[in-house]
Amino acid sequence: MMGEPDRIMARQILTSLLASTILCAASSLALAQGAAPPAAPKAPAKKDTAKPPAAIKPEAAPAAAGGAEPALLGQYGTWGAYSATPGGKRVCFALAKPSSSKTNPPNRPRDPAYAFVSTRPAEKVINEVSIMIGYQLKPGSESSLEVGGASYAMYTQGDGLWIKNAAEEERMVDAMRKAADVTVKGMSAKGTETTDTFSLKGLAQALDRIAQDCRR
């Protein structure tokens, strides 16, 4: 089971990689939009009506741990497979956003949630599941991850979740490979309950891809 320093380091790595992944995706989208063929002529409009795509704030996108930008290895269903080399150490991860998110009370504001399954050969970490939940979790609270008819207790720290019993992680990942979706439940520091459902379509292929890129 990971100790406190390990969780802090893992959270820092994932947060940095996530920020850079979002920034790279936004840049790719902007380039794709710029390369699109011109639209059919339209009636003249005021010059200030066209606005560029919203940009991620610089402070929200720090250089990915050591300046290494994640590279997309492939998109598999709802899961993207990525690799990066922060600080000269290879990291591969599968990343997805929820297919649905609910709060109780309803419609409470929060940042987007993301699910990671990461492999870090230098640390001998294989298929570590973590959730960046999008808000500060209630200190000392326990969240749960439900998949394949089983529920797994999750350790919480800040806005991150990891499996509480590391001995169950391999079984949990195997269930995630086979199931249609996974549900993550948590509670914010303000007492708001959240339920995020992630589609698992493409996860098995994404994990196979990162296993190839980050060999043991």
Residue-wise pLDDT tens for the chain (216 aa)? 444 444 444 455 565 666 555 545 434 333 333 444 344 444 434 333 333 333 333 333 333 334 468 999 999 999 999 999 988 889 999 999 999 999 999 999 999 999 999 999 999 999 999 999 999 999 988 899 999 999 999 999 999 999 999 999 999 999 999 999 999 999 999 999 999 999 999 999 999 999 999 875
Residues 49-70: tens digit of each pLDDT: 333 333 333 333 333 334 468 9
Contact between residue 111 and residue 134 where contact means Cβ atoms under 8 Å apart: yes
Q: Which residue has the tokens 């339209």?
A: 42
* pLDDT for the residue 47: 38
Fold of 4-33+64-213: Immunoglobulin-like (2.60.40)
Q: Is the dihedral of CA 21, 5, 109, 146 positive or negative?
A: positive
- Residues 105 and 103: their CA atoms lie apart, in Å, by 6
- Residues 212 and 216: their CA atoms lie apart, in Å, by 9
* pLDDT for the residue 159: 93
- Residues 119 and 106: their CA atoms lie apart, in Å, by 35
* pLDDT for the residue 36: 43
* pLDDT for the residue 204: 98
Domain spans in the chain, listed from the N-terminal domain onward: 4-33+64-213
